[in-house]
Amino acid sequence: MTLSAADFAFVSALVRREAAIVLAPGKEYLVEARLIPVARQVGASGVAEFLANLQRRPNAADQRRVIDALTTNETSWFRDREPFTALSDVVLPELARTRGPANRRIRLWSAASSSGQEAYSLAITLQEHLAPGWTYEIVGSDISTEMIKRAELAEYSQVEVNRGLPATQLVQYFERAGAHWRVTPGLRRNVSFKLMNLTAPLPPMPPFDVIFLRNVLIYFDVATKKAVLRNVARLLRPDGWLFLGAAETTIGIDDNYERVAAGRTSAYRVRNAVPVGAARKG
Amino acid sequence: MVIDDSRAMRMILKRIVAKLNFEAIEAADGQEALDLLATMTEVPELALIDWNMPNMNGLEFVTKVRAEGRLREMTLVMVTTESEQSQIVRALAAGAHEYVIKPFTEGAMIEKLALLGLVPTGVNS
């Protein structure tokens, strides 16, 4: 399934030439994952066939597809759906069951929040599923100042709001701002964004109940993955939940985490850290 | 069923739904769509509906479909340049299940149909 060395070299040369992006060895999986939809779109049987055709018959349209696939910050609302469903159907009920009445505030972190769709999707989920009497706070973080500004502005184009956002939620949680749509103040109030480099020491923050760290680790080598997961574990409450991307895992990288079922997806919890009496299973 | 007065748009939509294994029939406006539906024994699963069309617009079509029990199972998706919040609310209130604003990408359309459970597993945007 993994890309051949020759194919990877071809794609690396192409994106370096056209977009000045350097794909380090070890990113074969990422390239493959990003090109699968492209191959499908052009009717190739797979990435290998698509790249073979492109090398045999170079053409600007397909080259552009490759570059876009590897450079576009593509973010949908409720991306992959399942983690958001797990949050509403598994995590929130468990917190409601195990937390005492004195601690009815939930903190979530959308790490590598890009233009903010994930953080606001989390806010919508909580708005709709949090039990009465609970409050919430969401922190988004990104390495790019540009993305932090965009996320704080919370304005999205027509094309962006089409991506995975149900129309009922569009009209409920957004308002028109010229040609764009802006997240309502009621939702923005609970969401803030911080500039943060996940591979550097993290700033002091109160711990989180839920951390979404999705499709971030795939960009890092194993040593960096270990460092990021170690940093993140310190910011996860003992009964907290970590959600990774569908193609990511802590297994073989950091044994402090335990993979647990969470609805139709998996989440990770810090081993031996759950207080007595708290449910362990997802 | 693809209902749009633009032939080009009907082609685009037909191509997308074909990827989801839908066989699409076309109508150029709401009235033509209703006439066609009246002749069909099997009701289509999905209708993609433009708003502004001659003879009968998309909103009227949605309202009429919702009033007819035989067509109750049809999933109705507005696909239109109408992008005012109030228009979206009107369409949803009339009984549309989803709303896609033009212009849209193929991926966005497939994601919307996935929300409605109309995308078979293995098909990605």
What are the E-state strand segments in A143-235?
155-156, 174-177, 180-183, 191-195, 208-213
- Any idea where the domains of chain B sit in the sequence? 2-115
Looking only at the bridges linking them, the beta strands covering A265-270 and A257-262 are antiparallel
Q: What is the mean pLDDT of residues B73-99?
A: 96
Report d(CA A68, CA A176) in Å as an integer.
Answer: 28
Q: In the prediction, which pLDDT does B51 show?
A: 97
Contacts of A164 in chain B (CB under 8 A): 108, 111-112, 114-115
Report d(CA B125, CA B107) in Å as an integer.
Answer: 4
Of the candidates A243, A215, A258, the one whose C-alpha atom is nearest the C-alpha of residue A109 is: A243
Helical H segments across A20-116, by residue range: 28-41, 47-56, 60-71, 82-86, 92-98
For the entire predicted model, the pTM comes to 0.79
Query: Does residue A142 carry a catalytic annotation?
Result: yes
B residues 71-110 lying closer than 8 A (beta carbon) to A = 83-85, 88-89, 91-92, 96, 98-101, 103-108
CATH fold group of domain A5-71: Chemotaxis Receptor Methyltransferase Cher; domain 1 (1.10.155)
Q: In the prediction, which pLDDT does B125 show?
A: 45
With residues binned 3-state (H G I as helix, E B as strand, rest as coil), the percentages for chain B, rounded to 5, are 45, 15, 40
Query: Does residue A79 carry a catalytic annotation?
Result: no
Q: Do A167 and B99 touch (CB under 8 A)?
A: yes
CATH architecture of the domain covering A82-270: 3-Layer(aba) Sandwich (3.40)
Contacts of A176 in chain B (CB under 8 A): 83-85
- Any idea where the domains of chain A sit in the sequence? 5-71, 82-270
Report d(CA A216, CA A248) in Å as an integer.
Answer: 9
Mean pLDDT is lowest, of A34-43, A233-242, B6-15, for A34-43
Q: Which residues pair with A174 in a beta bridge?
A: A183
Q: Do A161 and B101 touch (CB under 8 A)?
A: yes
- Which is more confidently placed, A157 or B63? B63
Q: In the prediction, which pLDDT does B88 show?
A: 96
Report d(CA A43, CA A3) in Å as an integer.
Answer: 18
Tell me which chain A residue has its CA closest to the CA of residue B106. A41
Running DSSP on this structure, what letter comes out for residue B42? S
Q: Do A159 and B96 touch (CB under 8 A)?
A: no
Contact in structure between A44 and A66 (CB atoms under 8 Å): no
pLDDT tens profile A106-117: 999 999 888 899
Q: In the prediction, which pLDDT does B123 show?
A: 59
Catalytic residue among A7, A79, A107, A142: A142
Cβ neighbours of residue A229 closer than 8 Å, sequence gap 6 or more: A217, A250, A253, A254, A256, A257
Length of chain B: 125
Of residues B83, B98, B103, nearest to A166 (C-beta): B98
Report d(CA A59, CA A69) in Å as an integer.
Answer: 16
pLDDT tens profile A179-224: 899 999 999 999 999 998 888 889 999 999 999 999 888 777 788 8
| Cis omega (within 30 of 0) for bond into B103 | yes
Give Cα separations from A51 to A19, A68, A71, A130, A216 (angstroms).
18, 15, 17, 47, 25
Residue A121 has pLDDT above 70, yes or no: yes
Place of tokens 């990605």: B124
Q: Do A167 and B103 touch (CB under 8 A)?
A: no
Q: What average pLDDT does chain A have?
A: 88
Contact in structure between B31 and B7 (CB atoms under 8 Å): no
CATH of domain B2-115: 3.40.50.2300
Q: What is the mean pLDDT of residues A266-272?
A: 92
Q: What is the mean pLDDT of residues B34-53?
A: 96
Of the candidates A14, A16, A103, the one whose C-alpha atom is nearest the C-alpha of residue A51 is: A14
Helix (H) or strand (E) holding A188: helix A185-188
Phi, psi of A263 (to 5 degrees): 65, -130
Of the candidates A72, A85, A34, the one whose C-alpha atom is nearest the C-alpha of residue A247 is: A34
Cβ neighbours of residue A183 closer than 8 Å, sequence gap 6 or more: A116, A120, A154, A155, A156, A173, A174, A191
Of residues A163, A174, A175, nearest to B111 (C-beta): A163
Phi, psi of B71 (to 5 degrees): -100, 10
Contacts of A175 in chain B (CB under 8 A): 85
Place of tokens 């576009």: A72
Mean pLDDT is lowest, of A7-21, A200-214, B11-25, B33-47, for A7-21
- Which is more confidently placed, A100 or B94? B94
Q: Do A167 and B105 touch (CB under 8 A)?
A: no
Task: Quote the percentage of chain A above a pLDDT of 70.
Answer: 93
Q: What is the mean pLDDT of residues A118-131?
A: 97
Residue A71, both tokens: 């450079």
Tell me which chain A residue has its CA closest to the CA of residue B86. A171
Looking only at the bridges linking them, the beta strands covering A236-244 and A180-183 are unpaired
Q: Indicate if the alpha-carbon torsion angle A49, A54, A56, A59 is positive or negative.
A: positive
Mean pLDDT is lowest, of A12-16, A215-219, A240-244, for A215-219
Mean pLDDT is lowest, of A33-42, A166-175, B92-101, for A33-42
Residue A276 has pLDDT above 70, yes or no: no
pLDDT tens profile A51-75: 999 999 999 889 888 877 876 555 7
Mean pLDDT is lowest, of A172-176, A188-192, A220-224, B87-91, for A220-224
B116 in A contact zone (CB under 8 Å): no
Q: What is the mean pLDDT of residues A87-100?
A: 94
Report d(CA B65, CA B37) in Å as an integer.
Answer: 10
DSSP of A75-94:
--TTTTSHHHHHIIIIIHHH
Q: Which residues of A touch B (CB under 8 A)?
A: 36-37, 40-41, 76, 158-159, 161-164, 166-168, 170-171, 174-176
Catalytic residue among A7, A34, A62, A79: A34
Nearest-neighbour CA in chain B from A64: distance (Å): 16
Contact in structure between B59 and B82 (CB atoms under 8 Å): no
Q: Which residues pair with A156 in a beta bridge?
A: A181
